[in-house]
Structures are given as structure tokens and as C-alpha cells.
Amino acid sequence: MTVTVTFVGTGDAFGTGGRHSTCILVDTPALRFAIDFGASSIVALKALGIEHTTIDLILLTHYHGDHAGGLPAMLLDAMLGARRTSPLTIAGPPGLPDRLRQFSETLYPGSSRKTPRFPLDLVEIEPMRPREVLGLRVSTYPALHTPETIPTSVRIDTGERVIAYTGDTAWTEHLPALAEGSDLMIAECYGYSKAIPFHLNYGVISERRDELRTRRLGLTHMGPEMLENAAGQPIECAHDGMVIRL
């Protein structure tokens, strides 16, 4: 059965190249879920003609605005505008309820007091402790990024396909395990040759490509240097609106 991956947003934290912040939408025969939901994700989804109310699950890799900052607006719209009725599950690293409350109160003071009329389930996932979430087997690994964001990489087994995503991270010992046997591995690639703290670059990924045993490797979260050099590279570079069928 086909699993479809839509790159809703492939940009960095600063919208380089006019790209939207990180959001990767996955459609399986039974479920629609998003990996990360950055600040401009609700706008990017609307531009693609996709209603956020059709998403069953959002998996967060870490608590930076370009990966989780779109949740407050999405939840407010779900309650006040779109009038969502179907259940929604949000899963992320430890501390999710408090982080979501902080995001909401910072961006829309008073909004955290609103009670959704739809079932909302918040699931905290401990790194290195795989668990079932809505029929998916979700495994997270520690990532090397800003520590305060509780950074993780995530591997999702849908039953039909395995999708891995590095989240924001420098190279770690866990990336080969993250990639092993996956149908698609999505790697953040902020830089091209320049070393950027807490991030991967094209030089590192290409040099260690053989350690990432995945059927297909795609790059995202590209900064200015990487975007300038993305065309014609042998490793596939994603763009907003790009669709992959596995």
C-alpha cells in the first residue's frame, strides 16, 4: 500500500528562499500525521489546499518555533474557526503539556484557558523508549541541538513503510540506527560546507552517506549556503510542496 509524504515546509528558522518552516505530512491508508508543525505551517497547508483538521496526529521533534510554533494558531483555529470535532493527538519530547501552554500563552495570551470541544490527547515520548501512538511504532533518539529544546530524531514505522527524520541535529552516533532499513530518511541540512553548531551540512552527510542505510535519502531545512548549492546535487533536496510516494 502507498504511503505519501508531502513536504509542506522545508525552510530554515528564518524563511530563507521564501520557504515555510518545517512540516512534513504523511498519509497512510489509515492515518494522516504531520512531523513537526513550525510557525508558518498553517499558512503552508492552506496554500496547498490541505485542511489542518484532517490531521490525526502531530509528532514533534523539539521545541523551537520553526518546528512547533504553529501549534497555538492551529489549535485556536480548530476551536474557534474550523470547529474541529475529530480527535487530535500531539506527541513530542518530555514536557509537552507545559511547552504547549507556554507557546500558547506567549503568542495568544489567555488561549491556554480555552477547552477544545474535540478530544485532544498529549503524549510525551521518552527518547530510546519506543511506543505505539495511534497504531504507529514511534522511536525517538537523542539529537545534538539546543539542549533546552529537548531535541530528538524520530523513526516511524507505519506498518507499511518506515520513515526516519533527523530533526535538527549535528551528527550523532544514533543516526545510523535511525536510518537502518528505512524506506525514507529525511535529514536536515542547514549548511553546505561550513560547519554550523547543532546542525548537519552537506559535506558531513555526503561523507558519511554509506552509514545511512536507507532506501531513499532526502534533505530539508536548508539555509542560505545550502540553497545556493542545492541544484544538481546527487542527494535529493526537498522543496515546499514536494510529494514522495513510497
Supply the DSSP string of 80-138, one letter for each residue.
HTS---S-EEEEESTTHHHHHHHHHHHHSTTGGG---SS-EEEEE--TT--EEETTEEE
Q: How far apart are CA 108 and CA 33, in angstroms?
A: 25
Cell of 239: 522543496
Give the pLDDT score at 111: 93
* CA 201-202-203 angle, 5° bins: 95
> Domain extents for the chain?
4-245
Give the pLDDT score at 69: 98
- Residue 66 among the catalytic residues: yes
Q: Which CATH class is domain 4-245?
A: alpha beta
Catalytically annotated residue among 27, 36, 66, 183: 66
Question: In a 3-state reduction of DSSP, which class is residue 214?
Answer: strand
Q: Is the dihedral of CA 158, 159, 161, 164 positive or negative?
A: positive
Give the pLDDT score at 91: 98
Q: What is the pLDDT along the chain (246 residues), one digit of tens a residue?
A: 799 999 999 999 999 999 999 999 999 999 999 999 999 999 999 999 999 999 999 999 999 999 999 999 999 999 999 999 999 999 999 999 999 999 999 999 999 899 999 999 999 999 999 999 999 999 999 999 999 999 999 999 999 999 999 999 999 999 999 999 999 999 999 999 999 999 999 999 999 999 999 999 999 999 999 999 999 999 999 999 999 999
Give the pLDDT score at 1: 77
Cell of 89: 493527538
